[in-house]
Structure 1
């Protein structure tokens, strides 16, 4: 986790950091604690907005998850990076793996950079 943190900060040195405890407004646990990097605004179909991170990271009993947010095409990550990553499962916006040694770090960096192209101000 510390190495991934260092890698992401290397890609986004001036980013906003988010530390989320995984609890909702009612103090109920709804996710694993996670660290977020960067900033973007989610636009919901009802017109509401929410500020959130661009890249996220969390650990759980099955390994590590990297979240690459603000992807409109839920097949993009899997089709573009899935087979190249190594021992990882890739869903709409999440890359899951057991250990850093199981994946190709350069491909993970490319996936993160791909999302950051939209945010030149970071």
Structure 2
């Protein structure tokens, strides 16, 4: 199955309201990153065991680990979870930037060093989310 088909199936497997929000967020991210590589991670490890929620990824960067190894990975991620939706901004060096810069103005969301989690799209300010995503893109390009 192609990545676009996996993404469509994943979004379609969500409850209707969450699926609608995810379609809107997917379109917003694609508009911000029109040439981005798409990823779909099904949440399973190499043994087929579920280790995380499935993720849609956008863009590409190289992650550098403390042991000197590297790994290609996405810049921005989108995932459904039991409490709502998460947007991941991967690879940021300043672990406080998202919280300090966007935490108070994004709306009803939990903001950590790399994750913005909210119940539904209507709970957040989409312009602030777009600014956070654009910051992540610029920081990891």
Pair in the same fold by TM > 0.5:
yes
* Deviations 1:45-86 (CA, angstroms, capped at 9, x unpaired): 111011100000000110000000011121110001000000
| Structure holding more helix per residue | 2
TM-score (norm 1): 0.95
Matched, 1:91 2:109: no
User: Deviation above 2 Å: which 4+ runs of structure 1?
Assistant: none
The alpha-carbon deviation at position 118 of structure 1 amounts to 3.7
- Residue 6 of structure 2 corresponds to none
The alpha-carbon deviation at position 25 of structure 1 amounts to 1.3
Query: SS in structure 2 opposite 1:107?
Result: helix
C-alpha separation in 2, matches of 1:13 and 1:73: 26
C-alpha separation in 2, matches of 1:46 and 1:58: 28
The alignment's C-alpha RMSD in Å is 1.0
Summarize the Cα distance change of 1:102–1:82 in structure 2 as closer, same or farther, 3 Å threshold.
Answer: same
Equivalent residue runs for 1:1-122 within 5 Å = 1-118=22-139
* Contact preservation (8 Å) 2:91, 2:140: no
C-alpha separation in 2, matches of 1:99 and 1:53: 23
C-alpha separation in 1, matches of 2:114 and 2:25: 17
Summarize the Cα distance change of 1:112–1:95 in structure 2 as closer, same or farther, 3 Å threshold.
Answer: same
- Residue 12 of structure 2 corresponds to none
C-alpha separation in 2, matches of 1:75 and 1:30: 26
